[in-house]
Amino acid sequence: MMVLLDSQDAESCMKKRAYVWILVLFFVFLIAAAGVSLLFLSFERAPDVPSAAYLRLDLAGAVVDFPETGFWSSFLPGGRPLSIHDVWMGLRKAAADSRIRGVFVKIGMLECDWAKCAEIRDALIAFRRSGKKAVAFIEELPEGDKEYFLATGCDRIVIHPLGWLGINGLGGYVPFFKKTLDKLGIRAEFEHIEEFKTAYNQFTESGFTSAHREMTASLLQSRFEDYVAAVAAARDKSPEEVRALIDRAFFQGEQAKEAGLVDEVLYEDQAVAPWTGDGRPARPVPLSAYSRIDAASLGLNKGRRIALIYGQGTILSGPGYIQTMGSDTVAEWFRAVREDASILAVVFRIDSPGGSAVASDTIWREVELTRKKKPVVVSMSDLAGSGGYWIAMSADRIIAHPQTLTGSIGVISGKFDLSGLMDKIGVTTEKIAIGKQSDIFTPFRPMSPAERDLFKKQIRWIYDRFIAQAAEGRKMKPEDVDQIGRGRVWTGRQALEIGLVDELGGLPQAVEAAKSLAGIEAGEDVRLVVWPKRTSFFASLFGRAEAEAVRVRDGLLPREVKNALERALRLNKERVWALMPFLPE
């Protein structure tokens, strides 16, 4: 039997269904929110550390100064990335924690430069001053110079019986693509100031210029000398003996022990015997879990407040995203520090090859304004050159590792002329333009000699400003800065000799310098207030940064491809760049 409903009954029925669906969606949302909250709490809850434990550091893959702060970063492929901040704080806590007997460091191939390895090595040496032992375990390092350098910061080095250790020296190849571009009909048109500013020589030259070769050889030689000296001191050898071992290059198992490069040849389970074989077995606590231990519970990170601002990646105008330094974002952090009377000083940690000249100058201005109210100390990581040096040079004090790459005071700008390629593939263009120079940046035609001259004058003006501000910050004459500038990259040790930095060291030395400038006693602990802040669940859910992380996260693309894409795409809107050159690996 068919029942017909009048319009009022139909409307009432529809309303009831709507209410039911609203209630269903509401409960689904509550359940989802509860699930996410439980998941969040499970990841944030401090681990239970047994009364007998050892801290386990698995050092392999990409290393950053400070990890991603988004809620979802722990769930991305590979989890939370290894960071200098977590390692440094973890070792500080482990030294003070009576439950931690020692540190076991398993070392694999690291995707970072030498200064980060030196920072970890220094932290291990500082940990050992507590009287606890640090053991390095090497499974296989076929090209492991910087990883072995790191391992020498431990009390003992152990290698797997079939382990392969390669310490074959420093160097490599720099690819040049000019002939490839010529075949494609593409011409790189870049003006740079000055001769050592070789950031785009890969595209404009078919090999090293004399300045490019001189600079690269000097950097590698300086780094090699530091490496040899550190290994010689750690392994009780002469520098000549270490150089002879490097020339031998490869050692397997017992060969490495016989050469005095390692102390024992053992399997991994045997290497942890010092903490597991005395009747009260110690349990491993991974750094990823131990990072959630509150430092204050161990009597650390307490007292008067010092800001620790991390500036990482290519410098860009606008907001910053994952592992990039946006001028708007960094400026906001410095403004917050200036307005907070409880913060007595700032440590600005820089790991950047540079980027936009305008964005670099914006951050420089914020550092300059901040130091007028409270001390600012710069700590340089792997890279702090070009724009990365620009943002550092007005600080009260600059501290770099001997292996840091810095300086590169110079600028570059240009474009790629695709007109030859267009001819090859049959693309034609027609021009409509108002203004004599309106199409100077077009990829469809080359620049005229007059335009290149105009271009050179514009970037010369920016270089002169770079020089003037560096001279003011470093209390030098502009002509003296120009002599050590000209785009040249220096190691931290070289930079100290020529006055570009004040001291050699890492984060601990920077914190001590900030304390001294703020009038805080050397033995007094301080609380570090860190930027960037952790991103909330909802900000991560709707924020652009997390989407960026999914697309360009280290591990999803080869590092070289990711870096090239980052420079090409994110600097596309910038016209003048302060970038460091590519160095051989």
Give the CA count within 13 Å in the CB-facing half-sphere of 442. 16
Is residue 350 within 8 A of residue 376, CB to CB? The reply is: no
Q: Which residue has the higher pLDDT, 568 or 532?
A: 532
Cis amide prior to 67 (ω within 30 degrees) = no
Which of 2-11, 223-232, 236-245, 249-258 has the lowest average pLDDT?
2-11
Alpha-helical runs (H) found in 185-252: 201-204, 210-234, 239-248
What tokens were used for 274? Answer: 């010092």
Contact 187, 416 (CB under 8 A): yes
β-bridge mates for residue 100, sequence order: 53
* Whether 322 contacts 553, CB under 8 Å: yes
pLDDT, tens only, 63-119: 999 987 655 555 554 556 899 999 999 999 999 999 999 999 999 999 999 999 999
The predicted model gives 31-55 an average pLDDT of 65
Q: pLDDT at position 21, please?
A: 63
Instruction: Tell me the torsion sign for CA atoms 501, 126, 239, 164.
Output: negative
User: What value does the mean pLDDT take over residues 49-68?
Assistant: 93
Residues 277-301: what's their mean pLDDT?
Answer: 88
Checking if the pLDDT of 395 tops 80, the result is: yes
pLDDT of residue 53: 94
CB burial class (10 A; 0-12, 13-18, 19+) of residue 333? buried
Q: Average pLDDT, stretch 41-55?
A: 76
CA distance linking residue 153 with residue 103, whole number of Å = 12
Lowest mean per-residue pLDDT among 34-43, 240-249, 250-259, 528-537:
34-43
Q: Are 220 and 170 in contact (CB under 8 A)?
A: yes
From CA 287, how far away is CA 104, in angstroms rounded? 10
Q: Would you state the torsion angle of the CA atoms of residues 392, 393, 399, 400, taken in this order, to the nearest 10 degrees?
A: 70
Does an H or E element contain 376, and which?
strand 376-385
Output the 3-class SS for 456-518: HHHHHHHHHHHHHHHHHHHCCCHHHHHHHCCCCEEEHHHHHHHCCCCEECCHHHHHHHHHHHC
Q: Which residue, 330, 327, 394, 334, is CA-closest to 360? A: 327
* Residue 12 pLDDT class (50, 70, 90 cuts): low
> Any idea which residue has 């690291």 for tokens?
110
Mean pLDDT, the chain, integer: 87
252-259: long-range pairs with CB below 8 Å, 24+: 252/162, 252/163, 252/164, 252/165, 253/159, 253/160, 253/161, 253/162, 253/163, 254/161, 256/159, 256/163, 256/165, 257/159
What is the 3-state secondary structure of 125-180? HHHHCCCCEEEEEECCECCCHHHHHHHCCCCEEEECCCCEEECCCCCCCCCCCHHH
Name the token pair of 198.
Answer: 């070789």
Strand 164-166 relative to strand 250-252, pairing: antiparallel
Burial class of residue 506 (count of CB atoms within 10 Å of its CB; 0-12, 13-18, 19+): buried
Residue 547: predicted pLDDT: 39
CA 82 to chain centre: 11
Is it the case that residue 34 has pLDDT exceeding 50?
A: no
- Beta-sheet pairing, 164-166 with 405-407: unpaired
Q: When comparing pLDDT for 585 and 38, which is higher?
A: 585
Concerning whether 386 is annotated as a catalytic residue, the answer is: yes
Q: What integer is the mean pLDDT of 50-65?
A: 95
194 upstream amide cis, omega within 30 of 0: yes
pLDDT at site 46: 72
Please, are residues 537 and 94 in contact by the beta-carbon 8 Å criterion?
no
Which pLDDT value is given to residue 436? 87
Selecting among 352, 386, 413, 540, the annotated active-site residue is 386
Of these ranges, 166-175, 264-273, 444-453, 487-496, the one predicted with the greatest mean pLDDT is 487-496
Cα distances (Å, whole numbers) of residue 283 to 20, 36, 49, 486: 52, 30, 9, 54
- C-alpha dihedral (353, 356, 359, 364), degrees to nearest 10: 50
- C-alpha to C-alpha distances, 75 to 324, 331, 504, nearest whole angstrom: 20, 29, 37
State the amino acid at position 383 in one-letter form. L
The 10s digit of each residue's pLDDT in 478-535 is 999 999 999 999 999 999 999 999 999 999 999 999 999 999 999 899 999 999 987 6
What is the pLDDT at residue 47?
79
In degrees rounded to 5, what are phi and psi of residue 310? -100, 120
pLDDT of 549 reads 39
Residues 507 and 44: beta-carbon distance below 8 Å: no
> Which pLDDT score is estimated for 349?
98
What is the mean pLDDT of the segment spanning 133-138? Answer: 97
For the chain, domains (ranges, CATH) are: 53-168+249-290 (3.90.226.10), 303-411+440-579 (3.90.226.10)
Q: Which amino acid is at 396?
A: D
pLDDT at position 531 is 96
Structure-block tokens of residue 557:
């693309």
Q: How many other CB atoms sit within 10 Å of the CB of residue 440?
A: 16
pLDDT at 458 over 50: yes
Is the pLDDT confidence value at 557 over 70? no
Work out the pLDDT band at 38, boundaries 50, 70, 90: very low
In this prediction, residue 8 has a pLDDT band, given cuts at 50, 70 and 90, of: low
Kindly report whether the global pTM for this prediction surpasses the value 0.85. Answer: yes
Measure Cα distances from 204 to 161, 176, 562 in Å: 48, 8, 21
Q: Which of 199, 224, 248, 143 has its CA nearest to residue 388? A: 199
